[in-house]
Amino acid sequence: MIRVVGIGLNGKDSLTTEVKSIVINTSILIGSQRHLKYFSDYSGTTIALENFIKDIKVLKKLSKDNKSIVVLVSGDPLFFGLGRLLLQEINKKDLEFYPNLTSIQLAFSYIKVPWHDAQLISIHGRNLDELILSFKKGKQKIAILTDNYNSPQIIASIYLSLSLLKSYDVWVCENLGRVDQKINCFSPQKLADLKQYEFSSLNIVIFLENNNIALNTQEYAQLPVLGIRDEHFLTFKDRPGLMTKREVRIAILGELSLQPKQVIWDIGAGTGSVSIEISRLSNTSKVYAIEKTAVGINIITKNCKRFRTHNVVPFALTNLQELYELPSPDRIFIGGSGGKLIEILEICQQKLKENGIITISLATVENLGMSINWLKNNSWNYTLLSIQLSRSLAIANLTRLYPINPVFLLRANRK
């Protein structure tokens, strides 16, 4: 019989009397050098764990001798531990498990945050695909078991390279329960910049969503005049990637040919990212961020507060006819139409000032074709821009590219 015993914070003292007895009376005791030191008075045969794959082969041979074997591990053997590998190689009836508290449980208890809804990931000797996917999905809590290669700094750098829209605080918990225990909270950028600092190999990294609305003084001062990074904007919790990307926003602003003291409509404003970029470029203009969803209006309002913009007006649109109530625009950007693109274009044609410009962002060829047909039938000039971009993504010491969804930009004005 192989008994797999989880060791807790207090080493030998974390075990019950029953489990201690099992360990002391076993024929063979197996564990890391650190775990074996807890039982320095053990008089039987000891074997130090060094390589899981090789060690499991040794265990399989030993189990055939009908000797009692105890394997010491950290925490819960079945939580990203040796237990899973043993179950793949050894019959269940020959295994027993005695779990202890996991390091992730302990980490959450120290930072005083419930963990029942956390995404739990191990990158110990694994690829980073699951971690990257969790970042992209915008999970509120992500707890990560690291290894010597994928340090906290590398994890923070991966997050930053994705240019995501959700903001996190990052906790690094080292040597939990030991005299040299350290628990610190960083911003992702500050953590990534600690290139010369070496964290203990016994660490847990936890990403917690940061719900602060306002940018701090330093963040605000460092904002560019044009091309705010996507991750600075608040966005939809259930669809964190649903916003006009930075590179596309820059192209849109160019296609609009903005001038001072204009009235601008941003139809289907979503998060308000385009409206805010316009307002920062031209603080003498007035921008109407037009959005039909209450959630969208709420996010636009928060983003306006976040970026300290005073010339953006969030406009909740319940009926297209309400567009007639707005001041006639010099420029119109259509980023979303809710399936009513032609109706919107008809209204824009009536309201747009002389020499005005409409720019339309389109994600599908069907809407592109529909728009071009309408422009031709109504005697408008137009130009088409197809945008296909990829961003770099750091993978350890390597770099790969991942694509941004293609976008068509139509720029139109009357003949």
pLDDT tens string 136-180: 888 889 999 998 888 999 999 999 988 776 778 999 999 988 889
Last residue of some domain: 153, 176, 209?
A: 209
Q: Are residue 294 and residue 321 in the same domain, yes or no?
A: yes
| Mean pLDDT on 50-56 | 77
Quick one: tokens of 234? 């608040």
Collect all residues with Cβ–Cβ distance below 8 Å to 221 and sequence separation of at least 6: none
Q: Do 136 and 59 share a structural domain? A: no
Its pTM stands at 0.59
Residue 216 resides in a domain: no
What CATH number is associated with residue 136?
A: 3.30.950.10
Output the average pLDDT for the chain: 91
In a domain, 218, yes or no: no
Same domain, 139 and 65: no
172 secondary structure, DSSP code: E
How are beta strands 380-387 and 407-414 bridged, if at all?
antiparallel
- Is the same domain home to 370 and 234? yes
Question: Which of 131-135, 237-241, 340-344 has the lowest average pLDDT?
Answer: 237-241
pLDDT tens for each residue of 331-376: 999 999 999 999 999 999 999 999 999 999 999 999 999 999 999 9
Query: Are 259 and 327 in a shared domain?
Result: yes
For residue 215, being part of any structural domain is answered with no
Residue 41 belongs to some domain of the structure: yes
| Domain boundary residue, one of 101, 124, 142 | 101
* 200 within domain boundaries: yes
Residues 50 and 164 in one domain: no
Give the confidence band of 240 by pLDDT, cuts at 50, 70, 90: low
High-pLDDT (> 90) share of the chain, %: 62
Are 12 and 71 members of one domain? yes
> Quick one: 245 and 260 in the same domain?
yes
pLDDT at 165: 63
Q: State whether residue 3 is helix, strand or coil.
A: strand
Q: CATH number for the domain including 26?
A: 3.40.1010.10
Residues 73 and 145 reside in one and the same domain: no
**391 lies in some domain:** yes
Domain boundary among 54, 84, 101: 101
For the chain, state the CA radius of gyration.
Answer: 29
pLDDT interval class at 393 (50, 70, 90): confident
The verdict on 236 and 372 lying in the same domain is yes
Instruction: Assess whether 278 and 389 both reside in one domain.
Output: yes
Residue 115 has pLDDT above 90, yes or no: yes
pLDDT in tens, 188-237: 999 999 988 999 988 999 999 886 677 777 788 889 999 999 888 888 87
Question: 409 - beta bridge partners?
Answer: 361, 385
Q: For residue 53, is pLDDT > 90?
A: no
Residue among 27, 63, 22 at smallest CA distance from 44: 27
Highest mean pLDDT among 176-180, 302-306, 378-382, 400-404: 378-382
Which CATH number characterizes residue 246's domain? 3.40.50.150
DSSP state, 400? E
Domain of residue 367: give its range.
228-414
What are the Cα distances from residue 165, in Å, to 209, 215, 272, 371, 405? 11, 14, 13, 30, 16
> Is 368 a member of any domain?
yes
Instruction: Say what the pLDDT of residue 50 is.
Output: 80
Residue type, position 65, single letter: D
Q: What is the pLDDT of residues 253-273, one digit of tens each?
A: 999 999 999 999 999 999 999
- For 388, residues 6+ apart whose C-beta sits below 8 A from its C-beta are 403, 404, 406
pLDDT at 366: 95
Does residue 126 form part of some domain?
A: yes
Alpha carbon distance 146, 151 (integer Å): 6
On whether both 278 and 164 belong to a single domain, the answer is no
Q: Report the domain count for the chain.
A: 3
